[in-house]
Amino acid sequence: MRSEPVLNEEEWTKLSEAVASVKYKKQKGSTSPTVGVTFCLLCGSALYFVKGDPAKGKHERYRCHGNKSKGIQACPKQRFWAEDLYPWLESTLLGEIGHLERMESTTIDDSRAAKLAVIDGKMNQLLKELQQDELSAVAYASQVASLAQDREKVTNLEGPKPVTVWTGTGESYAEWWERSSVDERREWLKKHKVKAYFGHDVLAVDPGDLIESIKQQGISYWDLPSKSSQVLSPITPISLHGKPYGKPKPLTGVEWEIVSRWEDFDAERTTQRAKGQEEAQGAGEVTVVPASA
Ligand SMILES: [Zn+2]
């Protein structure tokens, strides 16, 4: 006897859509654009987002709050303007991976857990209907019994071991970033376990499992960087202000990281802004650009 699949394809699609929409709604109320992603480089605690108040001339900002439950006090002076922090993170990350094809990981055969979740969901639904008198006790009992049988079948299935596969999406990380909302970006960064550790002179990004995608597409070493300020360890020396030039230990403690110096980012941004202004002014005009020394 052939057993019926627990869900047909249409039901699967509906279910995954429902799950996705619930997740998204939950996240929407978040006030921090980067909660779960940005941390203090000195103590490792999460950076807190502090809303601005334009009437009082207060900027949006992030600061280290420490971690009371771990007895970590807030780091003094670990404060970052939102208008600096987000672009710095964006530039650092996309500078390293922006040109690569966005890959997404799929874990094949997670189906057992998913099927069980669906059956449990249906059971809950039946219970609700029973409680609201939309279902007779007899109908409830027989439907639950049949679901319980399904459940047991699924539990006893011998499944192949889950395998994670990275597949290309046909667009670059930069393109995806551009078309995504701040919420979507944050959820995506969290999903891939990307963590950004901010200090005043340096930002170190733990690329999480994106490193697998980066490795597959080639890592830019220091002699061929997409940006001069960024390296992936292991590990190219960078010189930080006032510290000896040498092979630094990884700032994030992980094997691979993307590092950006504030002064490099700031200089680059200044140049870009100047260029943008020039272009805005220079439409139609002949501009004399002084030769650089
Ligand atoms: Zn701190």
Map out the domains of the chain as residue ranges: 9-29+110-156, 38-105+163-278
d(CA 142, CA 153): 17
pLDDT value at position 269? 93
Q: How far is the CA of 43 from the centre of ligand 1 (A)?
A: 4
229-273 pLDDT, tens digit each: 454 544 444 455 665 555 556 677 777 888 888 988 999 899 999
In this prediction, residue 56 carries a pLDDT of 87
How many angstroms does the Cα of residue 65 sit away from the middle of ligand 1? 7
| Cβ–Cβ under 8 Å, residues 102 and 176 | yes
Which residues contact residue 16 at a Cβ distance below 8 angstroms, ignoring those fewer than 6 apart?
Answer: none
Q: What's the pLDDT tens digit per position in 65-104? A: 999 899 999 999 899 999 999 999 999 999 888 888 898 8
In three-state secondary structure terms, 210 is helix
CA 230 to mean position of chain CA atoms? 19
How far is the centre of ligand 1, averaged over its atoms, from the C-alpha of 200 (Å)?
A: 11
**Ligand 1 centroid from CA 201, angstroms:** 14
Give 112-146 pLDDT, tens digit per residue. 777 888 888 888 888 888 888 888 888 999 999 99
Asked whether the beta carbons of 63 and 79 are under 8 A apart, the reply is: yes
Kindly give the distance from the C-alpha atom of residue 215 to the centroid of ligand 1, in angstroms, as a whole number.
31
Q: pLDDT tier at 63 (50, 70, 90 boundaries)?
A: very high
